[in-house]
Amino acid sequence: MFFEAKVGEDGVERSEVVDGQQRLTALQTYYDGKFSLVSSDDAPYLSPNSVHYAGKAYDQLPLAYKQAFKRYRLTIIRLRNLGDMRLEVFRRINQGGTPLSGQDIRLAYFGDKSPSVAFIRLVGIHDRTAVASSRFIESAKLKYDLDLPWTDQMAFDTWRDWWAEKELARGQTPSEMFLWTLVGIQADKTTTLLQNKGAVESIGARYSGIIAEVLDTYCAQLRYQDMHPDEPPLLFSLQQIRDSVFPLFESSVDYFLRLAGVSVSLGKHRLIANVIAALYRTGANPKTLAPEKADKIVAFIRSPRDIAKTLSLNYPTSKGRWLGDKGYSAQFEAAFNVVQRIVSG
């Protein structure tokens, strides 16, 4: 079953896929002869007729199977006048079966036509051998000429070991950590965008104050920038994300997780992202910090409020919102103040 939305613009009506983009792409790619079905050794085909198609590309199918493929009827539900409810509809469709995380849905919904969002997903990969990961690595290379960005093997090993076989690693949480870093660096610009309701709606997002919609809007803006390269970007460009932000993320993950020990809770992933965002804003490199300063930052990761107090600063506990004294934007600023104090002290 596929869902599409009717969109009218300048008197012209067109259809946009709301759900099913990856499946439609897979069908088209197979028809174009760009891959073969897996062999019977790799998949438990139930039908004895699988001998006719197992392991074969479209051009290798018997004529009857080619005709059946082309004549197969797809169920398409057309939706009208969705407006800013498109993402909500997408969420509800995709939560009807196996529950998907917010980041799963975010990457799928805003990842189409966006190499920047695809790069965020690549950063989150911690097991190259996983089927879904290897497929996405191949897809990102073919579609956007993007490679897995982890080039420091020691850093990647640290990243892999931290997430390996952990429940929280499911649902694209590792990629959300990198997205969180980006949002933290550009918290002010993110707030500027969120306060412009018309701009948020124009990029296909919505914002009512909750943090999930902040992450949605950030990805929506990245996609918009990728699709409109001639317009001045509000947020980071793909080149800046890849060449400026990620190298610091990679070195920080390697340094601080090894210094703190990979036993540090995965529940600290957002706090660590806050620290990396603060380091970026201060222009500091973790590997050039004096040992006592690096130790103080690790202590802050372990006990943020206690260390903040020793510096006569406050680190608020977030209440799941973006704005306000206890919002995440305030928490980002507090992390920056702490890290800046440690680095400059």
pLDDT block averages, 10 residues each, the chain of length 345: 53 59 77 82 69 83 85 65 52 52 82 93 93 89 95 94 86 93 97 94 88 94 95 96 97 87 80 96 92 93 94 88 90 96 91
| pLDDT at site 326 | 87
Question: Which domain-ending residue is among 81, 97, 118?
Answer: 81
* Coil, helix or strand at residue 321: strand
In which region does residue 159 sit, left (phi positive, over 0), alpha (psi from -120 to 50) or beta (all else)? alpha
67 plus 87 within the same structural domain? no
174 plus 77 within the same structural domain? no
The 12-19 sheet, strands edge to edge: 12-19, 2-9, 76-80
Q: Give the count of domains, the chain.
A: 2
93 plus 27 within the same structural domain? no
74 plus 157 within the same structural domain? no
| pLDDT at site 46 | 61
118 plus 71 within the same structural domain? no
| pLDDT at site 80 | 54
Question: Which domain-ending residue is among 36, 53, 81?
Answer: 81
Question: Which domain-ending residue is among 81, 106, 124?
Answer: 81
| pLDDT at site 1 | 46
221 plus 310 within the same structural domain? yes
| pLDDT at site 88 | 53
| pLDDT at site 261 | 67
Please state the pTM of the whole predicted model: 0.75
- Distance of CA 116 to CAs 146, 217, 238, 273, 284, Å? 10, 14, 5, 18, 24
| pLDDT at site 9 | 57
Q: Which domain holds residue 77?
A: 1-81
* Coil, helix or strand at residue 16: strand
Q: Are strands 12-19 and 76-80 parallel, antiparallel or unpaired?
A: unpaired
